[in-house]
Amino acid sequence: MTQQVYIRGFGFNVPDKIVTNAELEGSVDTSDEWITSRTGIKQRHISEGEVTSDLGAKAARQALADAGIDAADVTHIICATCSPDSYCPNTATQIQHKLGISGCMAFDLNAACSGYLYSLQTARGFISADPDSVVLIVASEVLSVRTNWQDRTTCVLFGDGSGAAVVSADKGENGVEILDALMESDGQYGDLLTILGGGAEHPYKLGDTVDEAFFIQMNGREVYKVAVRSMTQVCQRLMEKSGLTVDDIDVLIPHQANLRIIEAVGKKLGIPEERVFTNVQKYGNTSAASVGIALAEGRTQGDLEPGTLAMVTTFGSGFTWGALLLQF
């Protein structure tokens, strides 16, 4: 029998500062009407000096409290991010330090917007190897520092935030079982969505000024197509693998990148709108944190009652994508 694994607690955090579409109209050639009709986004939260580990530690404390777990009992910390505090040290160790603990394994995982799901799948592996493991997953992003605020094709899309989960073999009081998962990737799409500057492929030397490659660059149209196709197909494959149909799925929680992508995936899967969770309107695309925020917020606001079967799906730069089934 495979090891049962539960998410025992959820947490999320977003910075206080809200930037509305109307405010962006003042800095780039865009409009609330364009952003709303193309993406569904109305506002995003933007950090004013808080770094990835700050937002992450806040979400982590909430998840630990929700799980009823002391930080000292955590055995692994995985920080899912593509906007780390720094290249080195990793952000997971800085979250660990901010939580006032030391000793446990702590590392970053970069699967872009699929980071939260990839981390859950990784946690399942750790817990299968040692059922006493208590894995803290912190998906945290401050992508605003890697956003070119003069590029209207990207700056309207992203927001900062963090989502956390405590994962263990012990269900605790309100644990949510991870029933099954499928994670996939295909590097042939690497060029479609990038942050190149500073990496080995696009190095800077002392005295260089950063160029556009320092920031997010994206071929939006192509990303859109692959996103819809990959999320739809991985959900279909996961349902088939688990012997489920769309009628069994109470709620679909897709990566909150764009309302049109979310609607297209729901439609292709045959899941009606009222069973598809959205909060992209309030937060924009928070990358790895996106579905972490959705799960934590969804549970707090009563959208994910006990008994609910949820299918979570994500896609991100790489491309990476995946789907996961959760029994609330």
Q: In the annotation, is 285 catalytic?
A: yes
How far is residue 244's CA from residue 101's CA, in Å, rounded to a whole number?
41
Distance from C-alpha of 118 to C-alpha of 141, rounded to nearest angstrom: 15
The answer to the question of residue 17 lying near ligand UT7 (CB under 6 A) is no
Identify the three-state secondary structure at position 225.
helix
Q: Is 258 a residue of the active site?
A: no
One residue of 182, 249, 257, 311 binding ligand UT7 per CB under 6 A: 257
Question: Do residues 268 and 231 lie in contact, with contact meaning Cβ atoms separated by under 8 Å?
Answer: no
- Minimum CB separation of residue 284 from ligand UT7 in Å reads 10
Q: Residues 200-239 vs ligand UT7: string with x where CB under 6 A?
A: ------------------x-xx-xx--x------------
Q: Indicate if 79 belongs to the active site.
A: no
Task: Name the one range near ligand UT7 by CB under 6 A: 88-96, 149-157, 241-249, 275-283.
Answer: 149-157
For residue 144, state whether it binds ligand UT7 (rule: CB under 6 A).
no
Decide if 78 contacts 138 (C-beta within 8 A): yes
- Site mask, ligand UT7, residues 113-132, x = CB under 6 A? x-------------------
Spatial neighbors of 277 by CB under 8 A, at least 6 apart, are: 251, 252, 253, 254, 294, 298, 303
Size of the site for ligand UT7 (CB under 6 A): 21
Q: Which is nearer to ligand UT7, 155 or 182 (CB)?
A: 155
| Residues 50 to 79 in contact with ligand UT7, rule: CB under 6 A | none
- CA dist., res. 209 & res. 290, Å (int): 31
Q: In sequence order, which residues have a C-beta less than 8 Å from that of residue 112 and are 6 or more positions away?
A: 82, 193, 287, 288, 316, 317, 318, 320
38 binds ligand UT7 (CB under 6 A): yes
| Residue carrying structure tokens 């990358």 | 287
Catalytic residue among 113, 148, 235, 258: 113
Question: Among 303, 312, 63, which residue's Cα sits nearest to residue 168?
Answer: 63
Distance CA 86, CA 121 (A): 25
Tokens for 116, please give them.
Answer: 């939260």
Does 316 bind ligand UT7 (CB under 6 A)? Our answer is: yes
Closest C-alpha to 257, from 58, 39, 10: 39
Q: How far is the CB of 84 from ligand UT7 (least distance, A)?
A: 17
- Chain centroid to Cα 186, Å, comes to 18
Using the minimum distance from each CB to ligand UT7, give the nearer residue, 172 or 220.
Answer: 220
Q: By the 8 A CB rule, do 326 and 121 touch? A: no
Show the binding pattern over residues 154-193: x = contacts ligand UT7 (CB under 6 A), - = does not: --x------------------------------------x
Contact footprint for ligand UT7 (CB under 6 A) = 30, 34-35, 38-39, 113, 152-153, 156, 193, 218, 220-221, 223-224, 227, 257-258, 261, 285, 316
Report, as residue numbers or ranges, the catalytic residues.
113, 255, 285
